[in-house]
Chains A and B, each alone.
Chain A
């Protein structure tokens, strides 16, 4: 028996929100979750989707990639308005946000799937529609960036 949209959402919402936070930061995670889920579930092909989880992950990556530029510019304006001395977000270590923020959307997705979902390179490549070679390059470059940022 197939799941209703609400059941699908309930099943994956928490992990998708976490993924969204990795892709666009905690402040934009809820918006990204909402927009990508709504977009996926109202798309013409949704009824034919059987692998809902994979579909939603992929929809979120696409959405984040498209939104990334506008989000970055908006948040940069907000940051200038607030001033750096006031950063104390969410109890997060500031270097964590800064480190993940240095990655591209695609690198963040690779990192999340590798370290949080514990996917293999092949599974990450399949999920993101990349070749395994490209996936390995993304992972390595992300690790190099994070090594410097998290030191």
Chain B
């Protein structure tokens, strides 16, 4: 098959798959009215409007797709714990919507509702017994979310979400600890939503007390809580032997090329790879100790 023939086959395949998906549901079938602007923090409900007959066809069709994916290498990097889908952020849209930034009016995390709802905290009960600890695991907010692909390329499992807070991380680490899925390395990169409650931070550290390598990234960017946040992170290393600080606040300025979105915080192309590299270098350095 020459290049032109291959291109033709690929276009044909995309046409077939797209046509097979049928017609997009109407907007009101997305149940957006139920959520509404006043219910922004609610989790979207999964939407299904398949009839029994079409569902049967779907099951059959899905099978081949699934079989083809079972051995897919990239999947091995993805957490098997239930994961709350991550939204796009400014950093995730590349250069097109730089106007989208995290809300700087969020002074503390107490104002931000938890994004891990009770219904999503089911890893302990939904996982099969053979599922092994996740290592290394990276947990973060929209900054890290921008580098998610790059981190995964380097072998990390990434649990990053826009406006993720320490309270979210507390719930997540608690669930993972309970299910025995915390591994040897956990990386935490937060700071977009303000100063965390000190008690929540200590509770997180209690959840991570058996994790030998916990990395906290400092925060880099023009936010009022920058100094206080980074001071808090740095003091963690003094209080907990298993904590190592990755000083993103210092290292971010060394990134060369197209590193940051217009807000100066979120990562774009070279910045994403640089961020991932900094994280991996810290993990590798710790391993070498």
Supposing A6-B27, A58-B94, A150-B9 touch, asked if A28 and B67 sit within 8 A by C-beta, the answer is no
Supposing A49-B97, A96-B16 touch, asked if A72 and B146 sit within 8 A by C-beta, the answer is no
| 23 A-B contacts (beta carbon < 8 Å) | A34-B25, A34-B29, A34-B30, A44-B163, A45-B102, A45-B162, A56-B88, A58-B94, A72-B72, A75-B62, A76-B66, A78-B59, A87-B60, A89-B62, A89-B64, A97-B65, A99-B68, A101-B65, A116-B11, A125-B269, A130-B269, A130-B272, A151-B1
A-chain residues with CB within 8 Å of residue B94 when the two chains form the complex:
54, 58, 125-129
A129 touches B96 (CB 8 A): no
A25 to B62, CA, bound (A): 7
A-chain residues with CB within 8 Å of residue B73 when the two chains form the complex:
104
Q: Within residues 91 to 150 of chain A, which ones have a CB less than 8 A from any CB in chain B?
A: 91-94, 96-106, 111-112, 115-116, 125-132, 134, 143, 146-147, 150
A31 touches B46 (CB 8 A): yes
Smallest Cβ distance from B37 to chain A, in angstroms? Answer: 8
B-chain residues with CB within 8 Å of residue A96 when the two chains form the complex:
12-13, 16-17
A119 to B267, CA, bound (A): 22
Q: Within residues 1 to 47 of chain A, which ones have a CB less than 8 A from any CB in chain B?
A: 5-6, 9-10, 13-14, 16-18, 20-22, 25-31, 33-45
A38 to B40, CA, bound (A): 10
Main SS at interface, chain A: helix
Q: Within residues 91 to 134 of chain B, which ones have a CB less than 8 A from any CB in chain A?
A: 91-97, 99-103
Smallest Cβ distance from A50 to chain B, in angstroms? Answer: 6
- Name the residue in A79, A87, A129 with the highest tally of chain B Cβ atoms < 10 Å from its Cβ: A129
A90 touches B35 (CB 8 A): no
Q: Within residues 76 to 100 of chain B, which ones have a CB less than 8 A from any CB in chain A?
A: 78-80, 82-97, 99-100
Supposing A45-B162, A126-B96, A129-B146 touch, asked if A39 and B85 sit within 8 A by C-beta, the answer is yes
Supposing A9-B27, A55-B100, A126-B96 touch, asked if A35 and B47 sit within 8 A by C-beta, the answer is yes
Pick the residue among A17, A21, A66, A134 that contacts B83 (CB under 8 A). A66
Smallest Cβ distance from B195 to chain A, in angstroms? Answer: 19
A22 touches B44 (CB 8 A): no
A111 to B86, CA, bound (A): 22
B-chain residues with CB within 8 Å of residue A45 when the two chains form the complex:
89-90, 100-103, 162
B-chain residues with CB within 8 Å of residue A33 when the two chains form the complex:
24-25
A51 to B173, CA, bound (A): 35
B64 touches A129 (CB 8 A): no
A69 to B85, CA, bound (A): 12
A-chain residues with CB within 8 Å of residue B46 when the two chains form the complex:
31, 34-35
Count residues on chain B whose CB falls below 8 Å from chain A CBs.
89
B74 touches A75 (CB 8 A): no
B11 touches A79 (CB 8 A): no
Supposing A27-B62, A129-B92 touch, asked if A150 and B1 sit within 8 A by C-beta, the answer is yes
A79 to B274, CA, bound (A): 40
Pick the residue among A9, A106, A126 that contacts B74 (CB under 8 A). A106
Supposing A62-B145, A72-B72 touch, asked if A79 and B20 sit within 8 A by C-beta, the answer is no
Smallest Cβ distance from B223 to chain A, in angstroms? Answer: 16
A143 touches B88 (CB 8 A): no
Supposing A50-B99, A70-B83, A99-B13 touch, asked if A30 and B75 sit within 8 A by C-beta, the answer is no
